[in-house]
A and B are shown apart, each in its own frame.
Chain A
Amino acid sequence: MDPTLLNIIIILIKIAVVLLAIVATIMVLILGERRISGFIQDRLGPNRVGPGGIFQPIADGLKFFLKEDIIPSHVEKALYLLAPAAILTPALMTFAVIPFGDQFSTYLFGHMETIKFQIADLNVGILYIFAIASLGVYGIVIGGWASNNKYSLMGGLRSSSQMISYEIPMGLAIVSILVMTGSLRLQDVVYDQYAIWNVFRQPLAFIIFLVASFAETNRLPFDLPEAEQELVGGYHTEYSSMKFASFFIAEYANLITSSALIVTLFFGGWHVPFGILEALNVSVVWEQILQILAFAIKTGIMLFVYLWVRWTLPRFRYDQLMNLGWKALLPLGLLNIVLTAIGVAIFQ
Chain B
Amino acid sequence: MIQLILFSIFAGLAVLGGIMVIAHRNPIYSALFLILTLFALAGEYVLLLAHFIAVVHVAVYAGAIMVLFLFVIMLLNIRTETQAPGAFRYMIYIAIPLAVLLFLELGYLAFQGFSEVTVKANTFGTVESLGNALFSTYVLPFEITSILLLVAMLGALYLSKRKLSEVKE
Contacts and interface: CB of A to CB of B under 8 A. Distances in A.
A144 B56 CA distance: 27
A135 B55 contact: no
B67 A163 contact: yes
B75 A131 contact: no
Given A127-B55, A128-B55, A167 B74 contact: no
Given A145-B28, A167-B64, A184-B127, A160 B71 contact: yes
Interface residues of A, number: 26
Nearest to A130: B59
B68 interface: yes
A248 B159 CA distance: 38
A134 B70 CA distance: 14
Find the residue from B32, B55, B70, B74 having the highest chain A CB count within 10 A: B55
Nearest to A137: B67
B47 interface: no
A114 interface: no
A56 B35 CA distance: 39
Interface in A118-155: 122-124, 127-128, 130-132, 134-135, 137-138, 141-142, 144-145, 153
A153 B28 CA distance: 13
Nearest to B52: A124
A161 interface: yes
Contacts of A160: 67, 70-71, 74
Contacts of B75: 157
Contacts of B63: 130-131, 134-135, 167
B11 to A, nearest CB: 21
A268 interface: no
B35 A157 contact: no
Contacts of A153: 74
A332 interface: no
A141 B55 contact: no
Contacts of A225: none
Q: For chain A, what secondary structure do more than half of its interface residues adopt (helix, strand, loop), or is it mixed?
A: helix
A164 interface: yes
A130 B56 CA distance: 9
Contact count band on B: 20 to 34
Contacts of A132: 58
Given A123-B51, A123-B126, A124-B127, A131 B67 contact: no
A211 B9 CA distance: 40
Contact of B74 (A141, A164, A184): A141
Given A141-B67, A160-B71, A161-B71, A134 B32 contact: no
A157 B29 CA distance: 17
Nearest to A164: B67
Interface in B7-65: 28-29, 32, 35, 51-52, 55-56, 58-59, 62-64
Interface string A159-182: 011011001000000000000000
Contacts of A134: 59, 62-64, 67
A122 B58 CA distance: 15
Nearest to A127: B55
A64 to B, nearest CB: 27
B38 to A, nearest CB: 11
A134 to B, nearest CB: 3
Given A145-B70, A164-B71, 12 more contacts: A122-B51, A123-B51, A123-B127, A127-B52, A130-B63, A134-B59, A141-B67, A141-B74, A142-B32, A144-B74, A157-B71, A167-B63
23 contacts: A79-B29, A79-B32, A122-B51, A123-B51, A123-B127, A124-B52, A127-B55, A130-B59, A131-B56, A131-B59, A132-B58, A134-B62, A134-B67, A138-B70, A142-B32, A145-B70, A156-B74, A157-B74, A160-B67, A160-B74, A163-B67, A164-B64, A184-B127
Interface of B: 28-29, 32, 35, 51-52, 55-56, 58-59, 62-64, 67-68, 70-71, 74-75, 126-127
